Structure 1
Amino acid sequence: MSSVPGVILAGGLATRMGGGDKGLKVVAGKRLLDHVVARLVPQCGPLAINANGDPARFAEFGLPVLADGLPDYPGPLAGVLAGLDWAAGLGADSIVTVAADTPFFPADLVARLKAAAGPSGLALAASPDAGGKLWQHPTFGLWAVALRDDLREALEGGLRKIVLWTERHGAGIAEFSSDPFDPFFNINTPEDIGEAERIVGAA
């Protein structure tokens, strides 16, 4: 498959937002998932949404909804694994993941992740904070289908921290600028919606 499949990670519990699906919250007149899909479509092949519970709430997006294959909400890596299992069925050798609550991720995310990939085929996005410290954004990554059984074994063994697994496999890092704002700004609280609308207005 020439164009890498994309998986939108929407499986979080949104506790700081009062529960519900953050991806369905509205920013500047559009749901977060609308913003994310529009940004990802030009960069990827087929798309899917990783989410648990009733998939019908995402029906109007017309995308496959992939539930975690592991119980008890083990975190974003379970969504990555669900995406890798889906992509294996498509004959793809990798996927790109993005978070459903992060509407401004870079328009060249996929190309830059591919360019940064380590020998294992893994890469994560990163950007500097206000003090210049580089932060990895592990829900924004390029993931190799060949590693899905290794990931499944790690998750079943209790691993939850993404970077522990990606560092084990020598993931590359694609660094993005935080000027004029961090493109990986994510929406966790109602106040963050106001900040996102300010960014939209300034863009």
Structure 2
Amino acid sequence: MIQPHGLILAGGKATRMGGTDANRVDKGRLTVGGTSLIARVMTRLGPQVDRLALNANGDPARWDDLGLPVLPDSVQGHPGPLAGVLAGLDWAASLGCSYIVTAAADTPFLPPDLVPRLLEAAGPSGLALAATREGDRIWPQPTFGLWPTGLRDDLREALAQGTRKVLHWTDRHAVGLAVFPTDPFDPFFNVNTPEELAQAEAMA
């Protein structure tokens, strides 16, 4: 069975939490139930992968306590999560690993079976994204995915050409979807605002 590496995406500026270029806010450090969001993500994703790394920009020393490799975006200008994915793919390829699985740092309830479900759902290219179903609609969760290192040069070129939306790139490669239920709650609920942090606290 494939044992992918795991990458926690924490490269954004958290603008809805008040973050700016001059004043970075690390949402992963916010706490729910007395435990930081990023610690919750590590606890859930860590057992499912061979090793973990963190995609984050700015001073990497602020993450030293986590004991994880810190991978900054290799593309300038904060182009979004695809830049973090590319950093993770280059890291995994340097270690001889063929796949990474990504998860956002602000999602404290991610599924404990995320990785096996993504592996099962992988499309012909090896790509898979998590998704949720609401009625007849399926909603991809683009920061939760299985990504083959063999596509990293394709992704690098797409970023250089201006691609920013995850789905704009994955749709070119016959991506598979691993669909998760949202009952009793959305396992990909993420914390973007103070109100959502309070909601996560109530859910926990």
Q: How does 1:1-203 map to 2 (within 5 A)?
A: 2-19=2-19, 20-129=25-134, 131-200=135-204
Give the alignment's Cα RMSD to 1 decimal.
Answer: 1.1
Equivalent residue pairs, number:
199
Which amino acid in 2 is paired with 1:195? Q
Cα drift, residue 2 of structure 1: 4.8
Mapped to 1, the partners of 2:51 and 2:2 lie a distance apart of 11
Cα drift, residue 194 of structure 1: 1.1
**Matched residue of 2:28: which SS?**
helix
Instruction: Structure 2 unaligned segments of length 5 or more: list them.
Output: 20-24
Cα drift, residue 85 of structure 1: 0.2
1:36-75 CA deviation, whole Å, 9 max, x = no partner?
0000111111100000000011100000000000100010
Mapped to 1, the partners of 2:129 and 2:100 lie a distance apart of 12
Mapped to 2, the partners of 1:170 and 1:44 lie a distance apart of 24
**Matched residue of 1:158: which SS?**
coil
Question: What TM-score comes out, normalization by structure 1 length?
Answer: 0.96
Q: Which runs of 4+ in 1 moved over 4 A?
A: none
Residue identity over aligned pairs, in percent, reads 62
